[in-house]
């Protein structure tokens, strides 16, 4: 088996105290590390691209939102079912608008309070754990 490795970013995007969650399209769930359709905005870092630029680009591509105050908060690794080893960098940022226009990678979105995320049984633990870790002072 060939060793495959990539760097990915995820964004905890805030507006008015709420966090943006996306619902993945079915074609995006194939080979994914999570069984859930819930997702955070994000994607892969391209060759010669900084992770910060990737976070800004992915937010723009997936949601049409521009971000402000981008800050690296968490670094984790995971191995997807297809064998891809990912270094995942999670950024916290503020959005400039609530007017989300989704790419074809996602079918819906919602803005949730931190409490709503933690209390929602349909949201996967990896998202809850990420939100808890980044917001531990507020919980």
Can you list the domains of the chain with their CATH numbers?
5-134 (3.90.79.10)
Which pLDDT tens digit goes with each residue over 26-70? Answer: 877 665 656 679 999 999 999 999 999 999 999 999 999 999 999
What is the rounded distance in angstroms from the CA atom of residue 64 to the CA atom of residue 98? 10
CA-nearest of 4, 3, 102 to 44 is 4
What is the rounded distance in angstroms from the CA atom of residue 130 to the CA atom of residue 136? 10
Q: What value does the mean pLDDT of the chain take?
A: 91
Give the confidence band of 3 by pLDDT, cuts at 50, 70, 90.
Answer: confident
Give percent of the chain above pLDDT 70.
92
- pLDDT exceeds 70 at position 113: yes
What is the rounded distance in angstroms from the CA atom of residue 12 to the CA atom of residue 119? 17
- pLDDT exceeds 60 at position 75: yes
Give percent of the chain above pLDDT 90.
76
């Amino acid at each position: 088996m060939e060793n495959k490795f990539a760097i990915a970013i995820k964004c905890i995007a805030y507006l008015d105290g709420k966090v943006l969650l996306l619902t993945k399209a079915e074609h995006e769930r194939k080979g994914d590390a999570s069984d859930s359709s819930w997702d955070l905005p994000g994607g892969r870092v391209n060759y010669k691209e900084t992770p910060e630029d990737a976070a800004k680009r992915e937010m723009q591509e997936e949601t049409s939102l521009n971000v402000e105050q981008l800050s690296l908060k968490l670094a984790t690794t995971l191995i997807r079912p297809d064998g891809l080893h990912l270094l995942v960098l999670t950024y916290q940022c503020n959005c400039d608008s609530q007017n989300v226009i989704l790419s074809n990678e996602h079918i819906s979105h919602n803005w949730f309070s931190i409490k709503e995320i933690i209390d929602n049984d349909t949201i996967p633990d990896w998202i809850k754990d990420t939100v808890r870790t980044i917001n531990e002072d507020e919980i």
